[in-house]
Amino acid sequence: MYSYLFVEGTISTMTLGMQSKRSVIFNTDFMFRSLPSVSDSNGRKQRSRDILASHLAPGQPFNLTPSLQSNSASTSTGIPIILIYSDPVHSFIEMHFLAPLFPFLLSAITLSQATPTGNSINTNTTTNTLHPNASKLPFGAVITHCAIPGTIALTFDDGPYIYTPQILDTLAEHGVRATFFLNGHNRGHIDSSPEVVQRALAEGHQLGSHTWNHPSLDTLPYEEIVHQMTILEEAFMRILGFFPTYMRPPFLRHTPVVLGAMADLGYHVIGASVDTKDYENDNPDTNWVSFEKFQREVDAGGTIVLAHDAHQHTVEILVDNMLADVERRGLNAVTVGECLGDPSEFWYRTGR
């Protein structure tokens, strides 16, 4: 049976001099393993967007060019056209730089009006989706509140650290799932705690990125922002074999450049509507200040809670108090993805 597959790609507006033909393999969940990148002569990425719809047929390529005439020069310049075919196990994409097909690519957008079947992928919810199994959540836009009524999401930044296992114990005792935004090298080192990362995932918690070493991203140029994310992706790949689609910027600080980078990289940006500021009250005599702030901001409608698993008294006092209050309110403590109604298959990926 034929089905429509909608693919959104990152394609260059300046491909002069490019000579590229590259096969890209992705699994049956349509997770990209790799994509070719294209830069101009100064090394700057020049990007535009288009959507191409193609038939997906077992074992057969779908010929997009039967009525088009091309010439030998066309293979060295232009913009990519995507040819898709599949076998029973894998699907393959070939990117061809064929200048004469540009009008056809634009006209192919009209195919998106066709009724999709089971394997269709909606790519109209983000300005720059780099992986094809995109959820309905935006990329590169800050999300601060849950979408599902009656839910609240406890999130913990700056781990993994020596206190993270204790938080996992407490969450397990309460039967609660949370979200951990992890660093590569901050208070601890992610490669020194692979078992903690794996345990958190195995116990149903969601993992997100918090950059490699916790810089304030609003002070960095685009290239360094990207590096902070991709080096942590490599660590996730070593430990888990995949990396997140969710991230939180350190200190909650962002600029249009930061959000643009996150959109380019395919990240949902998670802020907070309840900020406990537990780092200011990591003391048994003042921890109540963070708990009262939690209560006030939940009273005001906050639903995504920011705390840290790198502070002793957050782990020993604040988490229990917050969970007791959540239970008293009759709220359902879940992961960020769950509270946003985002299916778990969209939380991670193996490439872009």
Q: Give the pLDDT confidence of 184-239 residue by residue, as tens digits.
A: 999 889 999 999 999 999 999 999 999 999 999 999 999 999 999 999 999 999 99
Before 160, cis peptide (omega within 30)?
A: yes
Does 185 qualify as catalytic in the annotation?
no
* Averaged pLDDT, 297-302: 98
Query: What long-range pairs does 124-127 form, CB within 8 A, spacing at least 24?
Result: 124/51, 126/263, 126/266, 127/49, 127/263
Helix (H) / strand (E) element for 106: namely helix 102-108
Q: pLDDT tier at 87 (50, 70, 90 boundaries)?
A: very low
Does 158 qualify as catalytic in the annotation?
no
pTM of the model: 0.64
Q: Which of 214, 308, 311, 313 is catalytic?
A: 308
Answer yes or no: is pLDDT of 11 > 80: no
List, for residues 58-72, the tens digit of each pLDDT value: 333 333 333 333 333
Q: CA-to-CA distance for 284 and 316, rounded, in angstroms?
A: 9
Q: CA-to-CA distance for 217 and 219, rounded, in angstroms?
A: 5
Which domains are delineated in the chain?
A: 3-113 (no CATH), 142-349 (3.20.20.370)
pLDDT score at 134:
60
* Averaged pLDDT, 262-267: 97
More confident call, 290 vs 115? 290
Report the Cα–Cα distance between both ends of the chain, in Å, rounded.
27
Q: Which of 106-120, 139-153, 335-349 has the lowest mean pLDDT?
A: 106-120
Q: Which of 50, 96, 157, 313 is catalytic?
A: 157
More confident call, 130 vs 326? 326
User: What secondary structure does DSSP assign to 40-77, as a single string?
Assistant: -TTS-B-EEEEEEEEEEBBTB---S-TT----GGGGGS
Out of 115-119, 131-135, 306-310, the most confident range is 306-310
| E-assigned strand segments in the chain | 3-12, 21-26, 47-56, 80-86, 91-97, 142-143, 151-159, 179-182, 206-209, 243-244, 246-247, 268-270, 274-275, 304-308, 332-334, 348-349
